[in-house]
């Protein structure tokens, strides 16, 4: 269902792009805007992992640096049937984590020192499984495609305004008023769809992550703990770079967390409720399977 919803939202965004191009009547401008946006996002796709890791001062670790964390990621990656990702630690008191990388073969998982200090091993396993689910689901690719189309829409909106300002409205049936409307409404509509896709991918990563860990309630408890603590601890790097907020397991920006139109994340309460329902379906009234193997 989540994949179907994602596909439908991408179709809506693509239709919006094509529709704007038709309204302003600039086929050439539409192509130029799309090519430029594609080039920008292609660069981001190949380099965004290095850029964001540097942005947060993340330091790569090996097995000798933190055997427990490295071993936990390794076991979860094996269960997820993906290559072992690189592991990074960020010196940040806010409990949080994110995944990056253009595909499973180039995946990376980054956790803050705050999350390692505040979560139990089981809760940390739930969080890491969620991030590995993003890598397995190729969510980086999905969000790059979304950003490409959204960027192209914004460029077309600016082109529409320029055309209206210069009086070149021969191909625009809506005229100057239509150009102004496109300039403001089109990017907003693209943003809304982009945020909806981001929230959809978070729900899907929760589901797949719970399956990887084998314990939905581990992630549920982790989300509650992270949410309650993150609201009290600022993340200065995230505040300076809000465009990266959607990458984290919990919105790192202050005052965030509501499941509204402009939120990159579903509400934590909704996510926890889904995970609790998943646990009840898997294990019945007990809601949690007996501990086993490396999770004991």
Tell me the torsion sign for CA atoms 14, 15, 17, 18.
positive
Active-site option among 123, 131, 202, 204: 131
Annotation says 131 is catalytic: yes
Q: Between β-strands 59-61 and 86-90, what pairing exists: parallel, antiparallel or unpaired? A: antiparallel
- Cβ count within 10 A of residue 57: 12
Cβ-count burial 127-152 (b if 16+ within 10 Å, e if not) = bbbbbbbbbbbbbbebbbbbbbbbbb
Active site positions, annotated: 131
């Amino acid at each position: 269902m989540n994949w179907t919803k994602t596909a439908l939202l991408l179709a809506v965004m693509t239709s919006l792009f094509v529709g704007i191009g038709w309204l302003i009547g600039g086929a050439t401008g539409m192509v130029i805007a799309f090519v430029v946006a594609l080039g920008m996002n292609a660069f981001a796709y190949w380099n965004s992992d290095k850029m964001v890791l540097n942005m947060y001062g993340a330091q790569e670790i090996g097995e000798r640096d933190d055997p427990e964390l490295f071993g936990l990621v390794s076991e979860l990656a094996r269960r997820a049937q993906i290559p072992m990702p690189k592991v990074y630690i960020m010196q940040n008191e806010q409990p949080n984590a994110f995944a990056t990388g253009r595909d499973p073969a180039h995946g990376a998982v980054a956790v803050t020192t705050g999350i390692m200090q505040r979560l139990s091993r089981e809760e940390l396993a739930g969080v890491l499984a969620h991030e590995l689910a993003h890598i397995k689901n190729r969510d980086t690719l999905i969000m790059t495609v979304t950003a490409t189309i959204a960027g192209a829409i914004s460029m077309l909106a600016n082109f529409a305004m320029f055309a209206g300002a210069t009086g070149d409205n021969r191909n625009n049936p809506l005229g100057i008023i239509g150009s102004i409307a496109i300039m403001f409404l089109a990017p907003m509509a693209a943003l809304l769809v982009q945020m909806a896709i981001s929230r959809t991918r978070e729900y899907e990563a929760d589901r797949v992550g719970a399956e990887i860990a084998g314990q939905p309630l581990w992630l549920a408890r982790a989300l509650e703990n992270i949410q309650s603590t993150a609201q009290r601890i600022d993340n200065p790097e995230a505040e300076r770079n809000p465009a990266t907020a959607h990458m984290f397991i919990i919105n790192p920006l202050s005052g965030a967390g509501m499941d509204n139109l402009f939120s990159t994340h579903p509400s934590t309460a909704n996510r926890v409720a889904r995970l609790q329902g998943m646990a009840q379906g898997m294990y019945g009234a007990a809601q949690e399977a007996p501990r086993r193997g490396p999770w004991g």
